Amino acid sequence: MSKAIESRRDLRVERWGVLLHMRQHRVQQWGVSQVIAMAKQTEEIPIYKLAYLQQVFLLTSAHPGGKDPHVIPQIWAMQASFKPEMIVISVANARYTHTLIAKTKEFVLNIPSADMAQKVWACAPPGEGVDKFTRAGLTIMKASKVKAPIVKECLGAIECKVVKKIDMLDHTLFLAKVVATHKMRSGSIMINAPGKHEFKILFFFIVLVGLMEIRAAQEAVYKHLRNRPRVRF
C-alpha cells in the first residue's frame, strides 16, 4: 500500500473519530435535557412508580396463638444480612398486618410464582377480619417455628421473628431474623409490573446503551490510530 493511500485512510479514520465524538456530545446533551425535564416533574411522580421491578411476596401474620391469620401482598422486603440471616420489611402503620406483627413479633414471607397474579391481587384490598385466603383460593399450611401460616401454593416461604422495629413516620421497618426456610416447588418468581412512567426509564437506558456503543466505536478508532505506522512526509 502506498504512503498516499495509507495517509488518506488514516485521515478518514480520524474524521470518523471526530464525528463519533460530536455524536456522543449530542447524545450526552440530549440525556442531560431529559434528566432536567424529569427532575422538574419529580414532585408529580411518586417514587414507588419509579422504583419498579421488585419481587412480590405474600406477607402472612396472625393473632397470638395463630388465630385469624391474615395475608397481604408485600413488595418492600429485602435481605438485610448474611450472618445472621436477616430480613427487613416496611409495613404501613395503618395496615391491619402492622398491628398483628407488632403484637406477635413474627411473620412469614411467602414467595408466589408468576402465574399467581390473580390470587395475589385478591389479597390486596385491606380488610380486618376478612378471610382473604378463602377469597383468593389459597391454602394455609402450618409453619415450623412461628404461628403465622405458610401459603401452600407458593414457591417457598421464609419464617421470621422480629428483633427490632424502626418508626418511619407513616411506615414501620421490621428487622427480623430468619428462623426457617421452605421450598415447596419450582417456578418463576413474581415481579411487579412497571408503572406508567416506564417509558421515561427506558429513554435513559437507550441513552446509556447509545453512549456505550459510541464509546466502544471510539475506542476501536483510537486503537487503530495508536497502532498505525508513522507516515513521514
Distance of alpha carbon 88 from alpha carbon 77, whole angstroms: 6
Distance of alpha carbon 71 from alpha carbon 108, whole angstroms: 9
| The predicted structure's pLDDT at residue 129 | 79
Residue 91: all three cell numbers together:
409495613
Distance of alpha carbon 121 from alpha carbon 27, whole angstroms: 41
| The predicted structure's pLDDT at residue 193 | 62
**Backbone angle region of 167, left / alpha / beta, with phi > 0 → left and psi within -120 to 50 → alpha:** beta
Distance of alpha carbon 137 from alpha carbon 9, whole angstroms: 71
Enclosing H/E stretch for 158: strand 156-168
| The predicted structure's pLDDT at residue 191 | 82
DSSP state of 188: P
Distance of alpha carbon 173 from alpha carbon 102, whole angstroms: 11
Residue 79: all three cell numbers together:
435481605
| The predicted structure's pLDDT at residue 6 | 57
| The predicted structure's pLDDT at residue 70 | 94
Q: Do residues 24 and 221 touch, judged by C-beta distance below 8 A?
A: no
Distance of alpha carbon 13 from alpha carbon 228, whole angstroms: 11
pTM of the model: 0.64
Domain positions in the chain: 3-45+196-227, 53-183
- Those residues of the chain that have pLDDT short of 50 are 195-207, 231, 233
Mean pLDDT of the chain: 78
At the topology level of CATH, where does 53-183 sit?
Pnp Oxidase; Chain A (2.30.110)
Entry field: residues in the chain: 233
